[in-house]
Structure 1
């Protein structure tokens, strides 16, 4: 599969987010920037970002993010180490989820992750004040999907002078959720990705075909399968809507018209086929669509 990432679109998305929210932007580049390449994505938006968000510190260390860009990095997931020096030397802000972690990482200026309903890797509301004091925390955040999650964060940390952030991609346009910063993830990459493969065979179908015995007047094959994160669903061929009839481990059957030929491009994501449409078809999140397929493709960057 071929993955075309338009860095100009990524950059314009971040510019638009900054303009709409009017606060610091902390791009989420975890999981190799959703499989799109952490180095290239960070290069494209570094001057627009106040910092970067990863899941674990090891991601930032591998990409040398803080030293390379002179920006701080927040590790949103559970701490991999409780030795503060592991973070201080690399410009990484660890996240803590209880008073004991906060105390142990106090000298690394930890950020408190507050549990407002996600129920993972976060501090219970009742323990937040003790954790803030124990870690001398100056930053608190939550993974919010609703505005009441934002209010819980504010209530649990009221009375402290903190840098707060709650809004990921789903709450960027709700002014009540903006607070001091926003953490766009999927919103950075929308419209920037085109994933495709090419027809390597074309057949006039002769009865049931494939493992499943599907019926189609004409079909072709591409060299992409479920080992690349692909699933049956819609696709585009020569600007026309079509469908993947059956997906194997490293190849897939595609329904064709009489005008489709060997070498034609089959668009699996991009153009008029969005992550959201595929997510609805696959019964998963658009984040999963993007990361599951992009990691197995050959990347090409354009502006």
Structure 2
């Protein structure tokens, strides 16, 4: 791991928060293993969340019918993206592993982190129509979510009032990370640290440090490969793949469930699909 580079995208306003402690634990543990660790502290950087025409330096191609995706794709090709975006893209290009550290807001990431995703993962740089999912631009990189919740674990269960956490994570882990090609490691979830005794918080951090010792050799989560879908049919599962799983109790993934029961923990730990 001596040559590995890790980028931590960190979003919390307070340096005394549990998220700050989790971030610091990651920096310390990974650096001790010889990794080069870089942190993008979004609030400290005053990172701009809104994706606007100001992200393009100079004239845009079509101001009257501004299309952010197409304009930033062109600006990326021409080296005309705003400097803050280009700097984050540099960090991402160099990284072997990206860790997103944040408190879960409204079942998703904080606005400032969503802004990082919207602005940094531009069309062309992070994905194209040809390069996405298992054939994505970042297929040789790993990424993971590490976050705190405000609700206890039981509330995010299949019988809990918040619904199954596996379903909550699908848009983030499949729709963003896997879409860009990342090998997605199982999330590190810190369940409601603000509502538990201090010793429980310490135990959470101890568990995190232990996991960090072998993080880069972990098996990623399972997603259905792109070649299992037919492009000409609107990217539907190929008949032979569908038939192969017809007798299975569970669907392939949380998102692709074939009208069957959702596979347990599909978005929270490695499960072999047999695809």
**TM-score for the superposition, normalised by structure 1:** 0.25
Q: TM-score, normalised by structure 2?
A: 0.27
**Larger gyration radius, structure 1 or structure 2:** 1
